[in-house]
Amino acid sequence: MTVVERSPELRPGGQAVDARGVAKEVIRRMGLDAAVRAARTVTAGAYTVDADGNVLETYAADDHGGDGYIAEIEILRGDLSQVLYDDTHDGVEYVFGDRIAELVQDADGVDVIFAGGDRRRFDLVVGADGLHSALRAMVFGPHERFVRHLGLVLAFYSVPNEFGLDRWLIEYQESGRSALLRPIHDATRAMAMFSFPSADFDVDYRDVEAQKRLLRERTTGLGWLTPRILEHLDDTPDFYLDQVAQVVMDRWSSGRVGLLGDAAFSSSPMSGQGTGLALVGAYLLAGELAAAGWDPEAGFAAYERQMRPFVEANQEIGRLHARSLDVPGPDAEPSTEPEWDPDLIERAINGLELPDYAGVPDSGAPAAPPITSSTRP
Ligand SMILES: Cc1cc2nc3c(=O)[nH]c(=O)nc-3n(C[C@H](O)[C@H](O)[C@H](O)COP(=O)(O)OP(=O)(O)OC[C@H]3O[C@@H](n4cnc5c(N)ncnc54)[C@H](O)[C@@H]3O)c2cc1C
């Protein structure tokens, strides 16, 4: 197996992601429970505050059996990548700093031309290259056909921890906009995060200066610590801003090319389950392909059949959450929290019975290895 990652090296840090329910079980079956727990963030929970910093509500990390708003397994995306990489790099070829420029498939395999010039042939190609997947655009069609903007924009960047933040995340909300500070490993710094409504979004996701302008514009007048947090916008070493979006597709495979994770079925950060879906999807995809003797049609179909209801429950959560933050105008009252249906939440967290692939022989693995176009989270 070959993993191709566009970045020159593993990308450190990033946002904190949670693993709940079935995703925790995948981590356990991979034998990575101890390693993931050792790399967890130290977040004890979250509280919401009013404009003066008075606490409104508190959510502890061990609420709801550890599967609540702040999950007991919360880990920076980059730290999870590191754990997965450490566990696999002996048996997997990792190619950093390259990407697929072109591919042509026939009945027996896929010819791949890399941006760096290499030409290789693989049995299968799996695109796990995120929300803006280039592989999806190459094989399935333009982004606009599959990416659904949920009317919100999310930004985050690190700031000096001059706010006395310890192990608790603090969130402030006002008229559909929010500002948040969360602790990170380096206690001298904190991660700031903002969200604001935006019906249309046409800022290039690579144009950082335009994104910072948009953030300043849309957070004007936002209370609490917002002005102080924004003072650090120009000198932060890291910055991320993107629309909150989902990916909805009729099919996640075409012949010998399949999609996985956000590229196929982003549920958006509003679901809190994107990483969980990517992990569970990877488990099912690998297991079903091996169980099908590496027959792409049968393997991709079995993966999709089991994964789809799980994805749909999580996308529903993402949409409900985004809608609950939607406000018609700056002076309007925020909508109330949706009435969360416990059955929907249960389906989104635990609603998939993981097959046990323990006895599946992978000796029938293809002569040329499959490829995935990116590291998993
Ligand atoms: C602010 C925020 C908070 C979130 N919170 C949570 C949470 O609490 N819980 C949760 O489960 N999820 C959360 N998510 C979502 C989660 O981060 C994603 O769902 C998850 O990372 C998807 O994993 P992925 O591997 O599919 O894609 P990504 O993590 O996007 O990884 C894609 C990889 O592909 C690489 N790449 C891109 N293009 C190419 C190319 N052409 N060729 C080769 N490589 C390429 C990228 O460099 C990257 O390494 C959050 C996301 C955000 C932004």
State pLDDT tens for residues 263-311: 999 999 999 999 999 999 999 999 999 999 999 999 999 999 999 999 9
C-alpha of residue 241 to centroid of ligand 1, in Å? 13
**Residue ID of nearest Cα to ligand 1 atom 39:** 129
Res 119 pLDDT > 60: yes
Separation of CA 6 and ligand 1 centre (Å): 13
Mean pLDDT of 163-187: 90
- Centroid of ligand 1 to alpha carbon of 286 (angstroms): 19
pLDDT band at 68 (very low <50, low <70, confident <90, very high): confident
Top mutation candidate among 15, 249, 311 for ligand 1, by most atoms within 8 Å of CB: 15
For residue 23, the ligand 1 atom closest to its alpha carbon is: 11
Mean pLDDT of the chain: 90
- The whole-number average pLDDT for the span 346-352 is 95
| Residue 132 pLDDT level (bands cut at 50, 70, 90) | very high
Tell me the CA distances in angstroms from 268 to 164, 173, 209, 261, one per residue in order: 30, 19, 24, 11
Q: Which residue has the higher pLDDT, 308 or 73?
A: 308
Confidence of residue 377 (pLDDT cuts 50, 70, 90): very low
Residue 139 has pLDDT above 60, yes or no: yes
Residue ranges lining ligand 1, Cβ < 6 Å = 4-7, 11, 15, 17-18, 77, 99, 128-130, 134, 154, 156, 261-263, 269, 272-276, 278, 373-377
Q: State the distance from the centre of ligand 1 to the C-alpha of 130, rounded, in angstroms.
A: 5
Is residue 375's pLDDT more than 60? no
* Mutate which of 262, 267, 314 for ligand 1 pocket (most atoms within 8 A of beta carbon): 262
